[in-house]
Structure formats: C-alpha cells, structure tokens
Structure 1
Amino acid sequence: MPKRKAAIAVGGVAALGAAALLLPNANASQDKDQASSAAGTAKTLKAKDASDLSAQVRKILGDAFAGSYYDNAKQQLVVNVVSGDDNVVVQAKKAGAVVREVANSTAELKAAARTLKAKATIPGTSWAVDPRTDKVLVTADRTVTGAQWNRLRSTVRGLGSGMATVKRSSGTFKTLLSGGDAIFSQVQGGNVRCSLGFNVTASDGSPAFLTAGHCGVAAKDWSDSQTGQPLATVDQATFPGAGDFSLVKYNDPATQAPSEVNTGNGQTVQINQAADATVGESVFRMGSTTGLHDGQVTGLDATVNFQSETDPNGVDTVTGLIQTDVCAEAGDSGGSLFTQDGSAVGLTSGGSGDCTNGGETFFQPVTAALQATGATLGNAGNAGNGAGDQAGAGAGDQSGAGAGDQSGAGDQSGAGGQAGAGDQSGAGAGDQAGAGDQSGAGAGDQSGAGDQAGAGDVSGDGSGAGDQAGAGDASGAGHAAGGGAGTAGHGATSLTGTR
C-alpha cells in the first residue's frame, strides 16, 4: 500500500533570534523542579507545571482565587488573592505559589467581560484578563474610530476605576489565511494557503492534522502544492464561535504523521504532549510565511471580534483564545505554537501586526481542540502516548470554565451552546484575502497610524490608511508594507515525502 510521510515542514527560514533560543535545547532535558524544604517558600518550576500548580491552588483558595501567572524570570507561579481566610492563603504558599493580594475578584473580572460582550462587541476589538495587572485588557485596532471608539471608551469607563484598561493596536485584527504556498486548497477565485499545526490521530484511528478553523471553513480539500491533488479532507471545523480549529484527515490511511515540528535547517522539535498556556511563559510559533518566532503569553480566554468577511456589517467573534506578543503574518494561520520542551500549546488564529512592527497574535488552545475533536497527538503508533492526558488535558481549564485567571467563562455563553462561546459569525476578516476572497493575489499596505498606549483610556481615533491584505501571489511572494519591509513567502510545503 502506498505511503506518504507527512511532516510539519512550515516556513523555510527560521528567525535567528527564536532559533538561537530554541534549537540548541530542542530535545534537551529540563532540570527537575526545585523546591525549598522550608514551608511556604515558592517553588521553582517549569511553565508547563505552573498550570497544574495553579489548578491545585485554585481549589485551595476557592472564591479568594483571582487568577495567576508565571514569572518567567524567577520561574515561579504568582497567584492573585482577594480577601479570604488566612489559613487557605498559608496553604497556597505551602503548595509553592507566590501569593499577592489584589483588588479585583475573578467574579468581578468575568462580569466586566460580560459587559464588554453586551455593549462593545465591535469589529477590531478584543479583551482578555491580564492577571499581572488584575484588570481586563481591552485592545482596539486602527479601524475602531468615531462613534465606535467613543462607545468602547464609554463602556470601559462604566466598568469602574481600576477594572479595565484600553490600548491601541496600529494594525488590524484579521485571520491570517493567505494565497500562496504551504498547505493549499483550490477554491473559486484562486488558492487558499494556511499552515499545518500538529499531526494527530483522529478518534477513529486515522492519521490527521490540526489547523485553524477559518482555514477549514474556507476550503475542504488540502494539498501540499499549489496545483497538486488533494491529500487531506476537512473532517471538522469550528469558526467563528468557541474557538478556531479544524481536524483534517489524510486521505491515505497509511500516511505516517510524526509528532514533531520542523523548525527549518534540518532541525525538528519532538512534540510529546499537549499543554495549557500560562500567562508569562515563553512560547515559539512556526508558520509557513514567517518561519520561527518567539514571545510570551500575555492573556488567556481572550475574546476577539474580527470584521466579518461575509457580512460588511457583521462581526466574527471567537472566544477562548490565547493572546501573545508573538508576531505572525498572512499564511501563518493554523501554524503551531509550542514550548521548548515539546508541548503543543496552540494553533495560529489571527492578529493585528506583522513580523516587522509586532502586534498581538491569538491562538486556539490545542487542549481544547483535541477535546472537541476527540483526536490525540501523534500518529497511530503513538496513539497510546497519553491519550487521556492529551485529549482531556485542561478540559476544565481550557473550555468555557476558564483556568482560574481566564475570564470569560461566564461572558462567553451562546453560539450553539458551545462552552465559552460568544456570538460569532462568518469567516475571515474584512480587509484580508481570506475565506471570502481567496484569489491568492492579496496585496496592500499596512500603514497603521494608531496610538498605542499600554494603560488607561486612549485618546484619538487611531485611524490609519490601508490594510494588510495578506501574502502576495500564489508563489508566496507576499509583503506586509506597514514597516516598509517585505516578507517573502517561503517555498517549503507543509506535507512532504514520497509515495
């Protein structure tokens, strides 16, 4: 029987900064957690273990728990606490967390997010709880102007002092689907290009992979070349709604789908497990347009309001996403977000910036995608590798319930009853060559001129000219002109091998 070996080969040339951080230690073992024997002394731990400790401490603290984040420099978990029983605070410290007192409770932050959903679901906005500031961080892209900007500021002010901050993004929130190379689908009007995320095994045992939901909504059949025959077919796709993920099954059941990320230059990172993201942890993103880049997780359970591609007056709301400061560009959609030790964390959804000027990028949590699709990481030969852990990892944390510091469980009801779902419609973003306009000819300037303030209400309309419509022609030679620098699409494909 013919076989095709499918590797996650995305991006070609890796960003040197990220590669220098990642590759020398890609398969290196980590030091074991170190904890002082003294009662109440904070543990030194890896980011992937911080989520487990946070869940443990959340149970101890109960209603006094107000979120947590990972202090990357000190390698410690910091837990926010509102007034509560001194005894449980002592227990939290003994468990190994750094405990700090804050003003806003989880319930208050969730209520604020619900108010934002009800009054400020505006295309080009997003919000997520930032446990480091104990506030809801609201972001508005450069398209939010005039009456919409005033409405957003008024809503934030109505939440009360110290509850939320607003900042400007000079780019435009958009899904990052593009025309070009990597994984392709031919649709009416041209080609769709995305990036493969992680190889998995579907619940029926067949080989498959995860990518972005807006890619799966845009096209059903996918290939490893622009004009090649389809090699995989979309089985499930969620976008918009409670996430942005697709399960795509390989057409050949004998396909070998290794659980690894190809980071370029012959280097790979073995993916061993799925893990929940933790605010403050360092992560790496691989995508077919821009290659390897790194950054930090800045928020969890984020709600993003994309301009609808199908309705000029509509909004595509996606909930439950991971917010980061990692850059991404058109064509990187669906690409893998992972950690140095080989944990699969996210799938690239969309964002406001590029890899010249930076910006926010949002990711679908892998744990939630695995749980929703019933898939497990790896190929059939490795299906027993922690299937229970991977399919359900963080089920309580990553679904609508929110992982303690993840506001939005309560504020994200709806969308067909899916956990954490908001009101969500359409596919893609209004100013980007995506689901609705997939000719592969995307062009345009990203000249963004908005203010960018880190805190407080921001004055000015932040308006800017042009849009970032994605990657260029079907050969992947696109550009993002916002910083005056071009970013070429790389010729490596996402599905490689021989029959």
Structure 2
Amino acid sequence: MSHKRIPKRKAAIAAGSVAALGAAALLLPNANASQTDGKDAAPKTLRAADASDLASLLATQLGEAYGGAFYDAAKKQVVVNVVGGDGKAADAVEKAGAVPRSVDNSLAALKSAARTLRTDATIPGTAWSVDPRTNQLRVTADSTVTGANWNKLTSTVDSLGSGMATVKKSAGTFKTFVDGGDAIFGGGARCSLGFNVTASDGSPAFLTAGHCGVAAKEWSDTQNGAPIATVDQATFPGDGDFSLVKYDDPNTQAASVVDVGNGQTVAINQAADAAVGQQVFRMGSTTGLNDGNVTGLDATVNYPEGTVTGLIQTDVCAEPGDSGGSLFTQDGSAIGLTSGGSGDCTVGGETFFQPVTTALTATGATLGTGAGAGAGDAGATAGAEPSDPAASDPAAGDQSGAADQSGTGDQSGTGDQSGTGDQSGTGDQSGTGDQSGTGDQSGTGVDDGSGMVSSNG
C-alpha cells in the first residue's frame, strides 16, 4: 500500500509565538506519556480523560438530582452538582469516587432554560452554554448585539428566573475561523484538516469544520492544485459544525497525529468527550499552539450564517486562520474541531469547537486512517521538548493562502491580521454575505516529514 505524500513547506508564524512556546513546553515533555489505568487511581483522584465518563454515569444514576459536573484540575477530582442537598444522591456520588456539591439548578432545568433562549433570543452574535461551576447558563453577546437586540436578550435572561443565567459582553464578533492549520483548498475556500479518520466503508478520510465542507466539494493540499479529497458529508449550520472528507486515493495512509511544530507530533490515540475544567490544546496556523481550559458544554452559537448547537466552549484563544483544526489533550485524546468564536490572542475571547465524538457518531467514521497509520510514526519525535521559539511553528509550510473571504456571512470587524503572512486569494466560504475586513491571514502546509498527512489546526 503506497503512502500519500504531501509536499513539505516551511511555516513562518509571527502572531502568538510566545503563547505557543509556553503551550509547547507544557505539552511536549509528556506528549507520548503512557496513560495509566483509571482503576489504579486513588479514590476521588482521576485523570481529566476519565471525568466525562464518570459524569455521564452519575447523570444516569442521579436523574433530576444531577446538576452537572466539572473537573478540578488542581485536586484531580470530579465535582458533581447535587440538586437540593439530596443525601442519597450525594452518597452515590461519593461512592463513585467523585465529590458532591449542593446546588439549586438541575441539568434538566438548565437545558430547559437554554431552549427558552433558543426560542426567544436567537440573535446573531449571541451564544450560551452550560457552566457547571456556576450552576448557571453562561450567556454571551458580541459587540454587534446592541439596542433592541441587547434589551431582548437581557429581558429573556431575566425571565428565566434568579440564579439561572448570567449575561456578559464579549470583545469582537462571533465568526467562523477560517484559513488555518494543515492547509486544504477548495472552491476559493481555505480551511484545515482536523483529524484523520477511517470512513464507515473503510476508506481513508479526515474530519474538518462543517462550514468548510459546505463551501466546496473538492479539496486540494495546495492552492489551485489538483483535488486530493472529496466531501462525503457536511453539517453546518444546525446540529454541529463538522464534515467528513474522503481521500480520492484509496491507498492513502495518513497518520493519526497532530503536528505541533519543529518536526514534532503528538499521537492521537482516542476520541474523548470534553469536561469543564479540563486543559486542552489547540493548533492553528495563525496563532500556533495554544492551551486553555474547557469552560462550557452543549453551547449554542448564533453565527451570521445560522445557529449551531452542541458545541464545546473554551477560553483557548483563536483567530481567523485557525478554522477546522484540532483541539486535543496532552495524553493524545481528540476532543474537538475549531468552529469559531470572538476576540483574538491579544485580548482573549470565547472559542467554540465541534465535539469529535459527536462528529464520529454522526458520520460513522472511526479515528485513524490507513493500515498501521497513527501512533507508530508519531512516537519518534513527540517526546522531545522544543529547543527554541520555532517549536511554536506548526511545522507545515509556507503561508501563502487566503485573505478574501467573500460569501461567508457578514463578519466585518475581524481586522487586519498583519504580520501573519500574505494569504492572497482564498478564504472559507461558509454561508452567505460579506466578510469585509478579514485582512491578511497566515496559514500552514501539510507535512511533518514523515510522509504521512498530519492533522492540526
């Protein structure tokens, strides 16, 4: 079986290099560390990877007494919200190895409140997610939500009742992030690979953002190059932001890795659900490698192109150029695909991701591509610590690419991304409208030198 080789190109990232180097220092020394069996952990001491599984189990057991859960990274504990101080439920939480906390709102009540927001306050530029740490809905409005729309949003939040939701303003505007990661080009759009997978029929494929999949049917690894992959399924807007793209060559072998720069990769060995409080890493061509934490689940985002539900909310920064790329953990768990958000890596902001587990279920795909592809190639380089700021480079290539993003919804105000490389010619074309003001946006190539397609965003 032959390898599908992608020409290696050099990256030059100007923005976010300091933050990226810091994230690399956190990530790389343990990138290939083996995962211990959660059963060997002391009571109430769990890995972040186990938090979502335990929370799901307890949600089933507790029913209406369940008010959500989050991961306390400092104590390595899962904290479970128990409604009304239910003693029986609290005992069940402790028996399962988690820490009970008495709260007022059940998860069912919070989801009901979210449905009210969907019905009464679906306003472009707004978003909401469940935050179990506050036991409330976190409602956010970007800078475009003013006047009557702001009044409508705040009055709807007030109608939910005291202690049910909080609302705040966010810098910038909610938009899909485009043009980043291991670059792929199609129909004038530029996006990035998320994770390599195997489609349900056994063919090699990859996941990327849904707004990329609806922008073009065929995708190339070079600007104006011959297509190498074709969209099989795409969802955006609606119940997610994901697409499955099949490689045209059935003999393609693509490693299940994320390229984190300087010739180093992190092996992706499983897909996992996110847990609030969990540390995550995001790779993108505009801003390089950045880390942060999950801040909310089951997020609804009202983009200019339409409403998307079921997303992960984080405080990891991102900018135009990071769309479709990988959200993952230090131990090699695939968590999400970059969807969009507000702000940038200077002022911060909210960032939203499509859960990988949901995308895999919906498309019928499984993580990893090709016979023997995956951790084997990645292991040779993933454990070394970067020696210089070039480690923030996603190790993939020249950043010629895309700046013009016409046809993707009104996203004015994204700003001039100067200093990140000239990307004349392409852009992500999800949706409709005018994306004035996107400016120069840097990108990356697609090869880590192993001869396998590496996935990052």
The answer to whether residue 423 in structure 2 is matched with residue 474 in structure 1 is yes
Cα 1:266/1:494, change in 2 over 3 Å:
closer
Matches within 5 A, 1:273-288: 273-288=270-285
Shift of 1:7: 10
CA distance, structure 2, for counterparts of residue 469 and residue 119 of structure 1: 39
Equivalent residues of 1:203, 1:375 under 8 A apart: yes
CA distance, structure 1, for counterparts of residue 37 and residue 297 of structure 2: 26
The answer to whether residue 308 in structure 2 is matched with residue 306 in structure 1 is no
Shift of 1:140: 0.1
Q: Which runs of 5+ in 1 are unaligned?
A: 37-41, 309-315, 386-431, 447-465, 479-485
Q: What SS does the corresponding residue of 2:323 show, helix, strand or coil?
A: coil
Cα 1:114/1:443, change in 2 over 3 Å:
closer
Q: Which of 323, 346, 351 is 2:341 aligned to?
A: 351
2:116 paired residue number: 115
Q: For residues 335-384 of structure 1, what are the alpha-carbon distances to aligned partners after superposition, in whole Å with 9 as ceiling and x for unaligned? A: 00000000000000000011222111100000000001111011232599
2:153 paired residue number: 152
CA distance, structure 1, for counterparts of residue 211 and residue 374 of structure 2: 30
Q: Which runs of 5+ in 2 are unaligned?
A: 376-402, 428-438
Equivalent residues of 1:289, 1:476 under 8 A apart: no
2:183 paired residue number: 183
Q: For residues 40-76 of structure 1, what are the alpha-carbon distances to aligned partners after superposition, in whole Å with 9 as ceiling and x for unaligned? A: xx51111110111112222332221110000111110
Cα 1:469/1:205, change in 2 over 3 Å:
farther
Shift of 1:3: 3.6
CA distance, structure 2, for counterparts of residue 282 and residue 273 of structure 1: 16
The answer to whether residue 291 in structure 2 is matched with residue 294 in structure 1 is yes
The answer to whether residue 441 in structure 2 is matched with residue 492 in structure 1 is no
Aligned Cα root-mean-square deviation (Å) = 3.2
The answer to whether residue 21 in structure 2 is matched with residue 20 in structure 1 is no
CA distance, structure 2, for counterparts of residue 353 and residue 254 of structure 1: 41
Cα 1:270/1:157, change in 2 over 3 Å:
same
Equivalent residues of 2:404, 2:426 under 8 A apart: no
Shift of 1:5: 3.6
Aligned-pair identity in percent equals 66
Cα 1:6/1:43, change in 2 over 3 Å:
farther
Cα 1:437/1:103, change in 2 over 3 Å:
closer
CA distance, structure 1, for counterparts of residue 353 and residue 374 of structure 2: 26
Cα 1:469/1:82, change in 2 over 3 Å:
farther
CA distance, structure 1, for counterparts of residue 444 and residue 89 of structure 2: 56
Q: For residues 88-141 of structure 1, what are the alpha-carbon distances to aligned partners after superposition, in whole Å with 9 as ceiling and x for unaligned? A: 321211211110000111222122111111110000000011000000110000
2:326 paired residue number: 336
Aligned length: 408
Equivalent residues of 1:300, 1:320 under 8 A apart: yes
Cα 1:262/1:362, change in 2 over 3 Å:
same
Equivalent residues of 1:209, 1:249 under 8 A apart: yes
CA distance, structure 2, for counterparts of residue 355 and residue 487 of structure 1: 16
Further displaced range: 469-478 or 261-270: 469-478
Equivalent residues of 1:135, 1:163 under 8 A apart: yes
Q: What SS does the corresponding residue of 1:112 show, helix, strand or coil?
A: helix
Further displaced range: 244-253 or 81-90: 81-90
CA distance, structure 1, for counterparts of residue 333 and residue 342 of structure 2: 25
Shift of 1:28: 1.4
User: TM-score by structure 2 length?
Assistant: 0.82
CA distance, structure 1, for counterparts of residue 343 and residue 271 of structure 2: 27
The answer to whether residue 65 in structure 2 is matched with residue 89 in structure 1 is no
CA distance, structure 1, for counterparts of residue 225 and residue 45 of structure 2: 50
User: TM-score by structure 1 length?
Assistant: 0.75
Equivalent residues of 1:176, 1:434 under 8 A apart: no
Cα 1:232/1:435, change in 2 over 3 Å:
farther
Q: What SS does the corresponding residue of 2:156 show, helix, strand or coil?
A: helix
- What amino acid does structure 2 have at the position aligned with 1:193? R
CA distance, structure 2, for counterparts of residue 208 and residue 128 of structure 1: 31
Cα 1:437/1:23, change in 2 over 3 Å:
same
- What amino acid does structure 2 have at the position aligned with 1:340? Q
1:67 paired residue number: 68
Shift of 1:185: 2.6
CA distance, structure 2, for counterparts of residue 47 and residue 300 of structure 1: 15
CA distance, structure 1, for counterparts of residue 330 and residue 129 of structure 2: 25
